[in-house]
Amino acid sequence: MVFKISFDKLRQSLSKTKAGLVEKIAKAVGQHKQIDQELLTELEEILIQADVGVATSEKILTGLKAKAAKEKIQDSEEVVKLLQEEIREIVAKGSQSFHSVQKDRLQVILMVGVNGTGKTTSIGKLAYQYKQAGKKVLIAAADTFRAAAIDQLAIWAKRAEAEFVRSQPEADPAAVAYDAVKSALARNLDVVIIDTAGRLHTKVNLMEELKKIKRVVAKVDPSFPQEILLVLDATTGQNALSQVKLFQEAVQPTGLILTKLDGTAKGGVIIAIADQLKVPVRYIGIGEGIEDWEEFQPQQFVEALFG
């Protein structure tokens, strides 16, 4: 089961990004009668300011110029349409569907991300989604370094009506994850979602801890975890790309969850992520409610952005 947020709600959640990107583009286009270098320079600045990034912005404009030349378009009024097509193509190439739960097979999902990105909230929403689909879900609190984080996760587990397992503070996180997976197998559960720490004394310590959890879980079954989902805060813009690269080196995330999209003008980072990284955006979060997110759909995203 995937939550389907209404198109109007999605469009409303993208209002800040729309104002910082699409509306500025339309204004710039309105000041030019034809597609010239001055207009292209203005468009590039607008794209970069919306956190689309330099490399991706250049790629979009190169494609735009090629299409304009091929179709012999000179009227600036066609620019918005051409930009929309270019962005849609880029975002579509960088997306893929979330893996569904395999029948009669435990699905182990490792959730990673720095503190403050909305990881706890995302775990609750993901657990609720599976519960609504009739799955038996266990949430494991393997961020044992922060008692407050464990308590917050317990609240979300209750909201999602998922089972919850915790250990003593500062217990070995890998041991917590291992025991949770073994327990889920023994009790014939469908999904285990494992929370992990988002901050240790150094980035090296954090990444080594995540690697250990991944290794230990794989001892139960070499296919575990099937998913490693990295949670990113959309309000950080281009910094999100740096986080992805950091986690890629350590645990190779299989998908991304982009949160707080409703509170930022930096939603253009989705375009940069789709273009620059090989990790697909799986979910977007657009609110604090347990159903305020959905599987990322490129076509719908671009239509809501430009609509």
Q: Which helix (H) or strand (E) holds 241?
A: helix 239-251
* pLDDT tens column, 125-176: 999 999 999 999 999 999 988 888 899 999 999 999 999 999 887 889 999 9
Asked whether the bond before 298 is cis by omega within 30 degrees of 0, the reply is no
| High-pLDDT (> 90) share of the chain, % | 70
In angstroms, the Cα distances linking 124 to 98, 138, 155 are 17, 11, 9
pLDDT reported for residue 202: 75
**pLDDT (average), residues 65-77:** 89
Q: Which helix (H) or strand (E) holds 165?
A: strand 163-165
Averaged confidence pLDDT in the chain: 90
* pLDDT category of residue 5 using cuts at 50, 70 and 90: low
**pLDDT (average), residues 257-270:** 90
**Helix then strand then coil, % of the chain, to nearest 5:** 55, 15, 35
| High-pLDDT (> 70) share of the chain, % | 95
Kindly give, in sequence order, each residue whose CB lies less than 8 Å from that of residue 138, ignoring residues fewer than 6 positions away: 162, 163, 164, 165, 180, 183, 184, 189, 191, 192, 193
Would you say residue 1 has pLDDT above 50? no
Q: Are 255 and 280 in contact (CB under 8 A)?
A: yes
